[in-house]
Structure 1
Amino acid sequence: MRLKLVIIFMSFLFVQEVAASSAAIIWKKKGKKEEKVEVKKETPYEKFFKGKKCETVKGLIILHKMDNKIYFELPLSLLGKDMLIGSTVTEITNNGFANVGEKPHEPMHVMFTRTDSTINLRQVTCAYMSKDRNLQERIKTSMMPAIIENLAIKAYSPDSTAVVIDMTNFLLSDNEQLNPFSAYAPVTWSGAWIEKEFKRNNSQIAKIKAFDDNVSVQSSLTYSVSLRDKRSYYWYKEPFTAVMTRTFLLLPEEPMRPRLADPRINIFWQGYSEFSNEGNGMKPLYYANRWRLEPKDEAAYRRGELVEPKKPIVFYIDNAFPEMWKPYMKYAVEVWQKAFENIGFKNAIIAKDFPTNDPEFDPDNLKYSCIRYSPSSVANAMGPSWTDPRTGEIINASVYVYHNVIKLVQDWRFLHTAAVDSDVRKVVLDDEIIGDCIRYVVSHEVGHCLALMHNMSASAAIPVDSLRSPSFTQKYGTTYSIMDYARNNYVAQPGDKEKGVRLTPPGTWVV
């Protein structure tokens, strides 16, 4: 009797186990016969998204937006891969704090890792390096990427190749490396500083986009902002909102071969510390910032023929610029082709209008280099760039042109040359003259985007009497390098223009 009770009890447990399996079996009557129907149990992934209004886009990472939250469906294949997070201003309450299109801070070098049931977002540093294997492992443990956000795994994808994580807290926070307040904010140029208070309750996730090598999430961030100096407030707790586009860009699987920087050439660089088993201690190492130009036809390139690069440098011209400016801006970009031809490349740098029929194009995406317009009283322009921190490869570069730079260059042209040029003795200069002024400014800033620093010694090397020479000025303009703070020819005297003396800065081929 006892044995029978044990058998019955074990049979009961077996039935319970079967009922709890992923596919329960239900017997359903169909007429006089019974039919076996399998009912599939919901997975945690299906339960997580069930019954919720969700916007999903698919690319490098699948993005899910729902209930003012943003979830990343992160492929496990991306764990440990180098990425950049770039933050671009898409909309802003006051462009005295930053321009639309501006990236106020250096992109963050990050990677995702996993620890048990948690995904770690880590910030990476590449400051130390070595070619010696015995030192590489110690450097690795001495420069471990820091965790900046721990993210619980909410669910696995149906095929278990990806995990769902909640990125909302990271993307709706006042992260100093991703916020909208530029280090070059015009409102601070008088010595004032910004006080801010982040308003999480008034911030939200906006548009999401996904592509093969990157994804982007727009965060609408709201603050209470004050501007003050040592004595008083200019603004006090004013409401302020900025929409920031955050791009998660996968860095090249095969890093570009770096090039050592030459201190004799004014090239922007990245500094590292190299440790070696040989020599006398740590050695400073400097990689030149440069674009990754590779010839389409390497054999022809090695024969000394001009060839096109596999991937040219492309600058997109903001459609907000006045129409009159655009042709001169395109010329200011493409005139740099002359410099690239000297190293064997043709059509290496190209200017295009903002595409109107390309669904992938987004000027606020870290992937695209643009020349952006800022409706501002500031009389200035800037040309910063962002690089792969491992190699110095320029990933993105942008030129920001403030509207009132047009007043500055007109004033210069009038003050410097009106005594010898009757064509500029006007309140408003002719389009051709203004266009040449725009050409100079944009070409100079594009030079910065190509990693060229200022060359202030260029004009100092020119004898004054050379600035009255037609042959010299036609070749060099007013300085040997457009990367100088070149000005118009205020040395010229009445009658010099008619003799052929050039009155304006050089063309870009003079670097």
Structure 2
Amino acid sequence: MITLHKIEGKILVEFPLTLQNREMLLGTTVSEISDNGNALVGQKIKKLLHIKFALRDSVMEMREVSNFARRPIFSTSKDESIKEAMKKGIGEPVMEGFKVMAYNAGSTVVVFDMTDFGVSNNKRMAIFDPYGKKTFDAEVTALNAETSQGNQLGVGLANGKFFVLSLKTANLGEILGDPDKKEFERYYQMNGRVFDIRYRFRYSNGWT
């Protein structure tokens, strides 16, 4: 059985070597949340990863077993040499490598750190619904959408951050829920607290 340890903000995995090369599913599920606009309890935002772990030297590799984006290769040949050649063309890519930190006394269990993979900004382990509402890291203190074309939204935060969001697509939820869409969002950092917004954008030959 795999055991997880949370120590000083790190996620350490205690992994029995008997589980090497065993196929597993890995993903994230929301167990508790303060705002259902971001995700629902029990919701899985991303598809589960079909993986296996294998130790190579002093690194525990996480390998991708299946991915629909990869083109499968099939053959009805019974020739063993052809089968061996095909295996070399459909190898399991290494998704991540985790340096082994420790072994148990009998060298049957290893410990490695999965903090960066599990709790960093890893799109494969996303916990917020990309079609949910936009989340900010501080209280919203000012809003302004007073442009003649109605396609810009200014958002001021209590920590001095100022966002300009574009509303030019049909799927507004997708824009507001995906901060990686840089072409739809501009961000500014200012000192102090944003309490009001007055801005304008050049449109054609005039100003809005």
TM bracket (short chain): 0.5 to 0.7
Identify which of 152, 158, 165 aligns with 1:232.
Answer: 152
TM-score, normalised relative to structure 1: 0.25
Partner of 1:128: 72
Match of 2:163 in 1: none
| Structure 1 partner of 2:57 | 116
CA distance in 2, matches of 1:129, 1:237: 52
Q: Are 1:101 and 2:42 counterparts?
A: yes
**Pair 1:224–1:152, CA change in 2 (3 A):** farther
**Matches of 2:86 and 2:93 in 1, distance apart?**
14
TM-score by length of 2: 0.57
Distance 1:92 1:158 in 2: 40
In 1: Cα distance, 2:154 partner to 2:91 partner: 43
CA contact (8 A) 1:119 1:152 kept: yes
Any idea what the Cα deviations from partners look like across 1:94-114, whole Å, max 9, x if unmatched? 322321211011001111122
d(CA) in 2 for partners of 1:156, 1:234: 53
CA distance in 2, matches of 1:103, 1:181: 9
Q: 1:75 aligns with which of 16, 21, 35?
A: 16
1:2-46 deviations in Å (ceiling 9; x for gaps): xxxxxxxxxxxxxxxxxxxxxxxxxxxxxxxxxxxxxxxxxxxxx
* Aligned ranges 1:16-95 → 2 under 5 Å: 60-95=1-36
Query: Quick check: 1:141 aligned with 2:61?
Result: no
* Alpha carbons 1:225, 1:235 under 8 Å: kept: no
Q: Does the 8 Å contact 1:122/1:146 carry over to 2?
A: yes
Tell me the distance in 2 between the aligned counterparts of 1:138 and 1:173. Answer: 38
Deviations 1:270-299 (A, max 9, x none): xxxxxxxxxxxxxxxxxxxxxxxxxxxxxx
Aligned positions of 1:32-431 closer than 5 A? 60-125=1-66, 127-130=71-74, 131-132=76-77, 133-183=80-130, 185-187=131-133, 231-233=151-153
**Per the alignment, do residues 231 and 77 of structure 1 end up closer, same or farther by CA in structure 2, a change over 3 Å counting?**
same
Give the AA of the match of 1:163: V
Q: CA deviation at 1:175?
A: 1.2
Could you say if the C-alpha distance between residues 134 and 94 of structure 1 is closer, same or farther in structure 2, counting changes exceeding 3 Å? farther
Counterpart secondary structure, 1:138: helix
Does the 8 Å contact 2:5/2:12 carry over to 1?
A: yes
Which structure has the greater CA radius of gyration? 1
The aligned amino acid for 1:154 is M
Q: Is the 8 A contact 2:61 2:96 kept in 1?
A: yes
**Cα distance, 1:62 vs. partner?**
2.5
Q: Look up the equivalent residue of 2:102 and give its one-letter code.
A: A
Q: Relative to structure 1, is the Cα distance of residues 236 and 70 closer, same or farther in structure 2, using a 3 angstrom cutoff?
A: same
1:25-80 deviations in Å (ceiling 9; x for gaps)? xxxxxxxxxxxxxxxxxxxxxxxxxxxxxxxxxxx112333212221111111111
Question: CA shift at 1:135, angstroms?
Answer: 4.3
CA–CA distance in structure 1, aligned partners of residues 139 and 83 of structure 2: 46
Letter in 1 for 2:85: R
Q: Secondary structure at the match of 1:177?
A: helix
2 CA distance for matches of 1:114 and 1:150?
9
Is the contact between residue 124 and residue 145 of structure 1 (CA under 8 Å) also seen in structure 2? yes
Aligned residues: 145
Q: Which runs of 5+ in 1 are unaligned?
A: 1-59, 188-193, 198-222, 240-511
Contact 2:73 2:90 in 1 (8 A): no
Q: CA RMSD in A?
A: 3.3
Structure 1 pair 103–115 and aligned structure 2 pair: CA distance change class (3 A): same
CA separation of 1:181 and 1:140: change in aligned 2, threshold 3 A: farther
Question: Partner of 1:70: helix, strand, or coil?
Answer: strand
**Aligned match of 1:305:** none
Q: Report if aligned partners of 1:121, 1:148 keep a CA contact under 8 Å in 2.
A: yes
User: Displacement of 1:115 after TM fit?
Assistant: 1.7
